[in-house]
Amino acid sequence: MADDTRSSSSGDGTVGGAPDRYDTAPGARPPAAGGLNAAWGRTSADLATDQPAGHAAAGLRSDPDLLAGSDDVTGGLGGTKIDPDAGGDIRRGRHRELHPEVDPDTRLGLRPTVSADRLPDQPADAPIDPRTRAATGAVAGLAGAAVVAALMYALFWSGQLAAPTFLAAERTLLGTRGWLDHAFAVLGFLAAGGIWGWLFGLLVPRPTLLAGVAFGLLPALFHWLVIAPLIGDGLFNRGTAAGVALPLLFNALVWGGIVGHLCHRWLRPPYDAVTTSAVG
């Protein structure tokens, strides 16, 4: 018969005199709190007292009494009483570091790492003088008209487009030929672009690119109702696809977009330009 060297299990859940942590027999005594893990059933304050002397520098220990800004307490960690006369928290019965109604920064005595906001509140945009807006709009309108004239002449000389409308209007009104009609037509078109830009700056207090595109519908409408009948193309260029689409393209999208963008860029406050460039 083989020798039975196994220790017998006692009735109180022990094996060989030691507690049996895995004994599931009826009536077995369950392990005490923390039997499987020394930290079970313990608070952080209890664990802080388990650290041996010299475990860490005084400023780095997790003992609440050693944290920066700790309250003046008496009576130890359990059931302490805060003395309000000693500068402590007016709440009684708990440390400031352990009180659930105190925010974490206050519990640990933390302070902001910077003395001021990284991006302070900016002042409200000061209203811009209408004359400044009008002058800015006139310059932007002149620039937009120059871009449109260059595009239309490029399409005209490449055979993709008929003579520019402003050239046909100049020939109808003045009847000049040769290089003079081109010079007068371009100068008149630039002047018209500056006038429309002046109106845009005067009427729109906060210009944007979309506002410029929307405003560009006005010169497009002027072309359909005044310029087109003047050169013999009829109202709305007789409703042809090119006669409706080209004024929208050149007057609203190109010219209006340029005017709105330039006015927005030139008239925005300096601090707005700095923060926008820093973010974007």
β partners of residue 18: 15
* Weakest-pLDDT range from 7-11, 154-158, 159-163, 211-215: 7-11
Question: What is the chain's mean pLDDT, rounded?
Answer: 74
- Residue 178's pLDDT is 84
* Structure confidence at residue 47 as a pLDDT band (50, 70, 90): low
Q: Is the pLDDT assigned to residue 142 strictly greater than 50?
A: yes
| Three-state secondary structure readout of the chain | CCCCCCCCECCCCEECCEECCCCCCCCCCCCCCCCCCCCCCCCHHHHHHCCCCCCCCHHHCCCHHHCCCCCCEECCCCCCEECHHHCCCCCCCCCHHHCCCCCHHHHCCCCCCCCCCCCCCCCCCCCCCHHHHHHHHHHHHHHHHHHHHHHHHHHHHCCCCCCCHHHHHHHHHCCCCCHHHHHHHHHHHHHHHHHHHHHHHHHCCCCCHHHHHHHCHHHHHHHHHHHHHHCCCCHHHHHCHHHHHHHHHHHHHHHHHHHHHHHHHHHCCHHHHHHHHHHC
Largest CA distance in the chain: 133
In the chain, what percentage of residues exceed pLDDT 90? 45
Q: Average pLDDT in the 239-261 region?
A: 96
For the stretch 172-226, pLDDT in tens is 888 878 888 899 999 999 999 999 999 999 999 999 999 999 999 999 999 999 9
Q: Is the pLDDT assigned to residue 154 strictly greater than 90?
A: yes
Handedness of CA 265, 267, 271, 272 (dihedral sign): negative
For the stretch 4-21, pLDDT in tens is 444 444 444 444 444 444
Instruction: Report the alpha-carbon distance of residue 124 to residue 208 in Å, rounded.
Output: 18
For the stretch 50-79, pLDDT in tens is 555 444 444 444 444 444 444 444 444 444
pTM higher than 0.85, yes or no?
no
Selection from 138, 133, 161 nearest residue 149 by Cα? 161
For the stretch 23-43, pLDDT in tens is 555 665 655 544 445 555 555
Distance of CA 163 to the CA centre of its chain: 47
* Weakest-pLDDT range from 30-34, 244-248, 266-270: 30-34
Selection from 242, 243, 247 nearest residue 217 by Cα? 247
CB contact at 8 A, 208 and 260: yes
Residue 53 buriedness (CB in 10 A; 0-12 / 13-18 / 19+):
exposed
- Residue 100's pLDDT is 65
Between these two residues, 10 and 149, which has the higher pLDDT value?
Answer: 149
- Residue 159's pLDDT is 92
- Residue 61's pLDDT is 43
Burial of 107-138, coded b for 16+ CB within 10 Å and e otherwise, reads bbeeeeeeeeeeeeeeeeeeebeeeebbebbb
Between these two residues, 13 and 129, which has the higher pLDDT value?
Answer: 129
Residue 48 buriedness (CB in 10 A; 0-12 / 13-18 / 19+):
middle
- Residue 133's pLDDT is 96
Between these two residues, 82 and 246, which has the higher pLDDT value?
Answer: 246
- Residue 127's pLDDT is 79
Domain boundaries, the chain: 131-274
Q: Is the pLDDT assigned to residue 251 strictly greater than 50?
A: yes
Selection from 214, 206, 201, 203 nearest residue 251 by Cα? 214
Q: Is the pLDDT assigned to residue 280 strictly greater than 80?
A: no
Instruction: Report the alpha-carbon distance of residue 257 to residue 254 in Å, rounded.
Output: 5
- Residue 269's pLDDT is 75
Phi-psi region of 16 (alpha: psi -120 to 50; beta: other; left: phi over 0): left
